[in-house]
Amino acid sequence: MVFIRYMTARLVLPALFCVLLTSGPAYSEGPLDEGMGLLNNKCADCHDLKGPAAATLEDFLSRKGPDLFYAGVKYRKEWLSQWLVSPKRIRPAGFRYSENIKRVSGEDDMVDLGALKPHMALSREMAKLAAATLMSFKANEELVKKNALTDAPADAFMGELNFDKFSGCLACHEIEPEYGGVSGPEVYTISERLQPDFIYSYLKSPQSFDPKTFMPDKELSENFLQILTKFMLTLEEDEEDDEGEGE
Amino acid sequence: MTLINRSVAGALLFSAAFIFLTSLSAYGVDAKLIYRTYCTQCHGLDGSGKGVNTESMSVQPRDHTDPKGMSAISDAQLRKAIAKGGLSVSKSVLMPPWGATFNDEELDALVSYLRELCKCSE
């Protein structure tokens, strides 16, 4: 009996103490808490993790990266965790094009490549944790129409015609590398990056998600919303172009 | 004489304050910043229509610094083109409607700013 007490005091209790220490109270509430710590540490300086969206132009312009407080209804988890490991620029003129362009006498304005800042990269483990945590951010869920797309197949010809001519999306968005406007995000990688229901809902009313965004509300009809969303989802990136990194 | 001078000075001061306050209510918004944020992507940093997006555009954006072209457009037409898009004034679809983005005050301020850019009136 004395031996058992001795063993308990000298071996079992310290061992138990060590286990408690290594499991740690910081991780006791689950991996999302750990993920929040990571996001607060690495991402919060440039991204809004809590919302709401900017209500004034000054607030809008003070944000250095996309709002992430509704990341869970916007992004695809697999893409997030891969992109965070090797970030590649999505907007050719950066997150705020107006801060990254320069005048060229007699010519069109140009992207000031020197002004573009790269996005930090995370380790595979950190990226996985960040992506899992971001996917739990479900603000604006009520703005996203569930199963928004009909069963009618995408029409590539009508889709491109609509994107380019009828709705004028090409003015600001690249439909393939180096073809299209540069102030908005490229759309040829949209199927990898974003959830279809979000694309549809954002096209329908960008200002519902971000009142000050420089993506205008094109007042698209239901037919155009279906055509455009499905068309963009059929686009794929040309593997030749994989240079550059950042937002 | 002194009384007259004082009255004139008072009236001038009152007028200046009135003009300042009314211009604030109409243009309290920073039209130049709005233009830079939303319009320069197509119309260019200097408003000449040479924006960073224009290379792939089938119809080139309007030169806002062209006094002749701009003076041919009324303030009402400019406002309509901004709020409801190019198609609403029989122009290109590439000019999108910004009615969901700008409020009435911002639209008025933008029209006034366009008149500054073109150094012209309707």
The length of chain B is 122
Task: Summarize the confidence of residues A201-212 as an average pLDDT.
Answer: 98
Task: Summarize the confidence of residues A100-126 as an average pLDDT.
Answer: 96
What's the rounded Cα separation, in Å, for the pair B7 and B64?
A: 43
Whether residue B44 and residue A217 make contact (CB cut-off 8 A), yes or no, is: no
Among A61, A95, A96, A109, most B C-beta atoms within 10 A, so best to mutate, is A109
Q: Which of A54-63, A229-238, B61-70 has the lowest mean pLDDT?
A: A229-238
Whether residue B100 and residue A216 make contact (CB cut-off 8 A), yes or no, is: yes
Q: A8's torsion region: left (phi>0), alpha (psi -120 to 50) or beta?
A: alpha
pLDDT of residue A32: 80
pLDDT of residue B29: 87
Whether residue A57 and residue B30 make contact (CB cut-off 8 A), yes or no, is: yes
Is a pLDDT exceeding 50 seen at residue B25?
A: no
CA distance A223 to chain B (A): 17
SS (H, E, C) A58-90: HHHHHCCCCCCCCHHHHECHHHHHHHCCCCCCC
Is a pLDDT exceeding 90 seen at residue A88?
A: yes
Residue A154 Cα to chain centre, angstroms: 25
Q: Identify whether the C-beta of residue A176 lies closer than 8 Å to the C-beta of residue A164.
A: no
Question: Nearest by CB to B56, which of A167, A170, A214?
Answer: A170
Task: Summarize the confidence of residues A155-163 as an average pLDDT.
Answer: 95
Answer with the residue of higher pLDDT: B1 or A153: A153
Answer with the residue of higher pLDDT: B52 or A31: B52
Whether residue A181 and residue B30 make contact (CB cut-off 8 A), yes or no, is: no
pLDDT averaged over every residue in chain A = 88
pLDDT of residue A236: 83
In three-state secondary structure terms, A113 is helix
Domain that holds residue B34: 2-118
Residue B66 Cα to chain centre, angstroms: 14
Name the residue type at position A184. Answer: G
Task: Summarize the confidence of residues A114-129 as an average pLDDT.
Answer: 96
Among B53, B55, B87, B106, most A C-beta atoms within 10 A, so best to mutate, is B53
| Cβ–Cβ pairs < 8 A, chains A and B | 92
Per CB-CB distance under 8 Å, the chain A contacts of B85 are: 218
Residue closest to A88 by CA, chosen among A195, A236, A243: A243
pLDDT of residue B4: 55
Q: Identify whether the C-beta of residue A98 lies closer than 8 Å to the C-beta of residue B42.
A: no
CA distance A179 to chain B (A): 7
Count of domains for chain B: 1
pLDDT of residue B122: 84
Confidence of residue A156 (pLDDT cuts 50, 70, 90): very high
CA distance B86 to chain A (A): 11
Per CB-CB distance under 8 Å, the chain B contacts of A205 are: 100
Is a pLDDT exceeding 50 seen at residue A18?
A: no
Domain of residue B101, CATH code: 1.10.760.10
Mention every residue, 6+ apart, whose C-beta is less than 8 A from residue A69: A48, A49, A50, A51, A52, A137, A139
Q: ipTM of this model?
A: 0.82
Per CB-CB distance under 8 Å, the chain A contacts of B97 are: 216-219
Q: What are the CB-based long-range contacts (under 8 Å, 24+) for A137-141?
A: A137/A49, A137/A68, A137/A69, A137/A70, A137/A71, A137/A72, A138/A70, A138/A72, A138/A73, A139/A51, A139/A69, A139/A70, A139/A73, A140/A70, A140/A73, A140/A208, A140/A209, A141/A70, A141/A72, A141/A73
Q: Is B4 exposed, middle or buried (0-12, 13-18, 19+ CB in 10 A)?
A: exposed
Whether residue A111 and residue B38 make contact (CB cut-off 8 A), yes or no, is: no
**CATH numbers and ranges of domains, chain A:** 142-240 (1.10.760.10)
Question: Nearest by CB to B56, which of A165, A179, A218?
Answer: A179
Task: Summarize the confidence of residues B27-56 as an average pLDDT.
Answer: 94
Question: Nearest by CB to B51, which of A60, A109, A218?
Answer: A109
Per CB-CB distance under 8 Å, the chain B contacts of A165 are: 58, 93
Token representation of residue B18:
């009135």
pLDDT of residue B12: 53
pLDDT of residue A13: 46
Q: Does B26 touch chain A (CB under 8 A)?
A: no
pLDDT of residue A19: 40
pLDDT of residue B7: 59
Per CB-CB distance under 8 Å, the chain B contacts of A61 are: 33, 37
Task: Summarize the confidence of residues A133-162 as an average pLDDT.
Answer: 96
